[in-house]
Structure 1
Amino acid sequence: MCERKATLQRLTHLLQVPEEGTIRNDYSANFVDSGLKTLPSAWIGNTAPETRLIEHPRLRRLTALKAALAQYAAIPRTYLQADLRAWIPTAQAIPNLGVLETLGYDVILLDPPLPSYAWNVPHDPQIYPSWSWDDIAQLPIPRLASKDSFVFLWVGDGRDDGLERGRDVLHRWGYRRCEDIVWVQTSERDAYAPQGTSLFVPVVQHCLMGIRGTVVRSTDSFFVHCNVDTDVILWPGERPEPHAPITTIRKPHELYTIIENFCLGTRRLELFGTNRNLRDGWLTVGCDVGPQAPQWPAHGAMPFEPTTYMSYFVLDPPGCPLHCRSNLLPYSEECEQLRPRTPPNRHDHSQHAPNQSDQLLSPHYHQPYQQPDLVMTHAWPSLTTMPLYTWKPRPVRLQPPLSQLLGQGAGGRATVSVPSNSERLSGAQARVLERVHETAALQRVRE
């Protein structure tokens, strides 16, 4: 017993390393020690989308295939110069949205000029004022979106009440929050524009994703492909000018890829866009779009013309169920084999590609992927080089009653959040502080 104890003491002495000689893998402490310069996220390696999938050939092939499908089905990049405040309904009149309301969009992306961005906005605030959350909530998103659709809303870095108010806005539009996509900044801290005097330095920007309708991932794979991308975007940022600091107003372009990989609907709308946001397959609406605005692309873009724009789509009848949608990406057998999916039920093969063998349908199928001999181009493929099929029949399922959808997502049935009326506190924090003051006042009364 004594020998065992002595051996244990010797081993313990050998394992003890002086504090000065230990290796500390604490990037947050290093951020403080380096003079608030090197962000913890700056140590993340292999962040470029072109290289991060080198060791994952199946996923790399899938992303290339989906990019080719999205480019093949994309409409020409289109812009509409408009003041979105004119779209807000008033007591005197309700704005006429024309064909935009008739079409009904599958995806709507918004990057509003929030008050938290005010110190980074290069424009004159008198000409380009920021939008309050109440103004954003009055935008006619329910009229623009289809019954089953998605909204992506940038809400800031989370220091103020952006996350709470963003969820509240989604709720007022009839959406429930289902995801929080974050942009993680990966450059040196001094490369970014100053962001206030807070003791905490935010390194992320949040984009809330809202869903409306009853989209089911296991049966509606003709409309959504889940788990192709993650909810974290690693990007250093972009400088408005060569020697200017990086601004968080300019969001990563990778979000477009995430949206296009996830939702297979081709009716896409972006609000508060600029010439920098012009993209094939999207209609970009904002004040700073068009040849007269900065950063007009060399290859140009199409101005919005209702007749021409509507000719790119098939108009679905009113009340069209999800499985009868027409404006979808082409179907690809190879894409169905490669994409991540929910394990199917034993007797339910409806979410899989037609004519697949039972071995491919099995969730235990882990054979190495055999790339076909077919050559797939990565830009503007033709029908002769892409295995496209018509998706028929699509699974028809009963819609759950509205009572089963109430209360889904964060916040509860009626109230998602409470406005804090503060630049430093969220709605929940302000409510907790209010309760503390009420309790203290009640105790003083009792005394």
Structure 2
Amino acid sequence: MPPGYVVANQMPPPEAFCGPGADARNGPKDGRGSRSRERHGRRRRRSREGGKEKKGRRRQDPAREQQDRARYPSRGCGSPPFCPPYGFPMPGMHSVPGPYRLPLVQRSSMADDGVSQQVSEKFLMRNDYCQTFVDTGLRPQNFIRDLDYPNRYSEYPKIERLICLKDTILAKRATPGMSLRAELKNFDLASLGTKFDVILIDPPWSEYQARVSGLYVPHEDLTPWTLDELKDLKIGEIADTQSFCFLWCGESHLEDGRALFKRWGFRRVEDICWVKTNRVAQVDERGRVKQGSVMYGDTSILQRTKEHCVLGVKGTLKRSEDTHFIHANCDTDLIMMEEKEFGSTFKPTELYETIEHFCLGRRRLELFGLDRNMRDGWLTLGRGLTTTNWNKSLYLSWFEGDTMWPEVQDHVGGRLVGSIPEIDALRPKSPDRPCRDRPPEKPRSHDFSGPSAAAREEVDEDERPLPEDLGEAGPPPGKEDEEDATAAPPPPPPNL
């Protein structure tokens, strides 16, 4: 084993629990010279050239002895102190770690200035958040700075100004929140009378019920839906030609989410991850979290502390051209928020802000919503709602016309939010890619379309969707293979 490294689970020797000058079997002594014998196995003798040899033990400096006694109080070896993974007790460390007291791990045998520890007498220590999770149950993501959304961009004035401008416009253009209590298994979504720009879905997956192992959770209906029942929802009929679908998939239903997108006619373009923290979790007298994560089960290999929300798009959208409908790069694909109580299906509210900053369409729909999900600018549908204020004619009147901000500064008129030049100037944009030299295409023997084929619009390779993500909007199976089969064969290689 390299010098300076210790095994994390290795217990320190009995001598480490006793102060200097103590014996591991008989407990601590008054420590007059035993430290020298413990380290070297014999007493040091001065050389004859250095002076007269002294017999007997050499007494330690009284000040040093008093300092050692204060640092290592007299105690037996029956109750060893808490030892972090570096294998020996630190002076002044309590026997039980607190909830936010991080153990230190020696990462290198060199000091921070590049000189060996034997010369510089320094130790290079780093916080070990993984060991903290093992010891206390506190997750490593708890110690990341600026997790709260209002203070996240305090050190980035341009992005902070951008978010402030967008929130101001969104607050004035948001329609009053509406809700409709309905059983979605029997409800006809087409009866709403309009199509939507954004659809947010949090289905009752079987994973939610498996977490609580059949226990009752107040204010939650965890009766799961099957995949076939979710496929029967007519999401594709109420989604506009250019629209987005945000689908919560929990931890173990990502493949089911892809199957639903394929059925509804969406293609997956992003994966938003919610990393759960437990900063405010209750701890016991030993500093450990009382109620641990309920995400892991018998079949999981690792302890799960995250959930996924996949984003699907319908139609063709380019972030560099369709800036009237989408504003990309305003937020990240990572959400870090506190996990709620046991069995709760609560989702972070930051996702609403991410959606509203990204898509400028005002017709937003949420399915399987509860009272806590009601929000201005959204229409919420679900069986768990306790109130209904749905008014079809009033709702449709809010989106008449083609006006937008700054022509109109309230919630009446137009289906787009609108923007101002300052937002476009502050908004992060993708760098311009250099034009790629493409060889001229040779005419194919089966092409009878004439000059119109040359005027066909080219699709950028970086924005071309994957075949498995096209869903029902993709070409029928075998069409691309037939085109490749009927194409002209490549020219033979030159003779060398």
TM over 0.5: yes
Match of 2:232 in 1: 138
Q: Please state whether the residue corresponding to 1:86 is helix, strand or coil.
A: coil
Match of 2:305 in 1: 203
Matches within 5 A, 1:195-274: 195=295, 196-197=297-298, 198-239=300-341, 245=342, 247=343, 249-274=345-370
**1:70 deviation in Å?**
1.0
Q: Which stretch of the first structure deviates more once superposed, 221-230 or 307-316?
A: 307-316
1:308 partnered with 2:387: no
**1:305 deviation in Å?**
1.4
Structure with max Cα Rg:
2
**1:55 deviation in Å?**
0.7
**1:23 deviation in Å?**
2.7
Aligned-residue RMSD, C-alpha? 3.6
Q: Please state whether the residue corresponding to 2:116 is helix, strand or coil.
A: helix
Q: Indicate which of 323, 330, 333 corresponds to 2:421.
A: 333
Give distance in 2, aligned partners of 1:128 and 1:315: 41
- The answer for unaligned runs of 5 or more in structure 2 is 1-109, 280-288, 403-412, 435-454, 473-496
Give distance in 1, aligned partners of 2:292 and 2:427: 37
**1:288 deviation in Å?**
1.4
CA contact (8 A) 2:231 2:260 kept: yes
**1:52 deviation in Å?**
1.2
Q: Which amino acid aligns with 1:331?
A: S
**1:15 deviation in Å?**
5.8
Q: 1:314 to 1:210 in 2, by over 3 A?
A: same
**1:410 deviation in Å?**
7.6
Q: Please state whether the residue corresponding to 1:49 is helix, strand or coil.
A: coil
Q: 1:153 to 1:401 in 2, by over 3 A?
A: farther
**1:332 deviation in Å?**
1.4
Q: Which amino acid aligns with 1:108?
A: I
Match of 2:170 in 1: 70
Q: Which amino acid aligns with 1:408?
A: P
Give distance in 1, aligned partners of 2:456 and 2:118: 63
**1:28 deviation in Å?**
2.5
Give distance in 1, aligned partners of 2:163 and 2:133: 35
Q: Which amino acid aligns with 2:169?
A: L
**1:133 deviation in Å?**
2.1
Q: TM-score, normalised by structure 1?
A: 0.63
- The alignment-based identity, stated in percent, is 35
**1:286 deviation in Å?**
0.3
Match of 2:268 in 1: 177
**1:103 deviation in Å?**
1.7
CA contact (8 A) 2:267 2:469 kept: no
**1:313 deviation in Å?**
1.2
Give distance in 1, aligned partners of 2:470 and 2:203: 26
Q: Indicate which of 105, 123, 147 corresponds to 2:196.
A: 105
Q: Indicate which of 79, 90, 97 corresponds to 2:179.
A: 79
Match of 1:278 in 2: 374
1:156 partnered with 2:250: yes
CA contact (8 A) 1:218 1:344 kept: no
Q: Which stretch of the first structure deviates more once superposed, 226-235 or 336-345?
A: 336-345
Match of 1:395 in 2: none
Q: Which amino acid aligns with 1:111?
A: D
1:287 partnered with 2:383: yes
Q: Which amino acid aligns with 2:329?
A: N
- Report Cα offsets for 1:4-51 as digits up to 9, x if no partner: xxxxx9x9982689xx9553444234322x15x111111212101111
Q: Greater relative contact order: 1 or 2 (C-alpha under 8 angstroms, separation 6 or more)?
A: 1
- Report Cα offsets for 1:340-375 as digits up to 9, x if no partner: 1234699xxxxxxxxxxxxxxxxxxxxxxxxxxxxx
Larger helix share, 1 or 2: 1
Q: Please state whether the residue corresponding to 1:181 is helix, strand or coil.
A: strand
Give distance in 1, aligned partners of 2:189 and 2:374: 24
Q: 1:199 to 1:190 in 2, by over 3 A?
A: farther
CA contact (8 A) 2:227 2:256 kept: yes
Question: How many residues are paired up?
Answer: 316
Q: Please state whether the residue corresponding to 1:178 is helix, strand or coil.
A: strand
Matches within 5 A, 1:180-191: 180-188=271-279, 190-191=290-291
Q: TM-score, normalised by structure 2?
A: 0.57
CA contact (8 A) 2:133 2:139 kept: yes
Matches within 5 A, 1:382-401: none
CA contact (8 A) 2:217 2:344 kept: no
Q: Which amino acid aligns with 1:314?
A: E
Match of 1:40 in 2: 140
Q: 1:214 to 1:414 in 2, by over 3 A?
A: closer
Match of 1:392 in 2: none
Give distance in 1, aligned partners of 2:197 and 2:268: 16
**1:82 deviation in Å?**
0.5
Q: Please state whether the residue corresponding to 2:186 is helix, strand or coil.
A: helix
Match of 1:295 in 2: none
Q: 1:305 to 1:272 in 2, by over 3 A?
A: same
1:51 partnered with 2:151: yes
Give distance in 2, aligned partners of 1:229 and 1:399: 34
Q: Which amino acid aligns with 2:302?
A: F
Q: Please state whether the residue corresponding to 2:160 is helix, strand or coil.
A: helix
Q: Which runs of 4+ in 1 moved over 2 A?
A: 20-30, 119-128, 188-199, 342-346, 398-402, 404-415
**1:193 deviation in Å?**
5.4
CA contact (8 A) 1:107 1:149 kept: yes
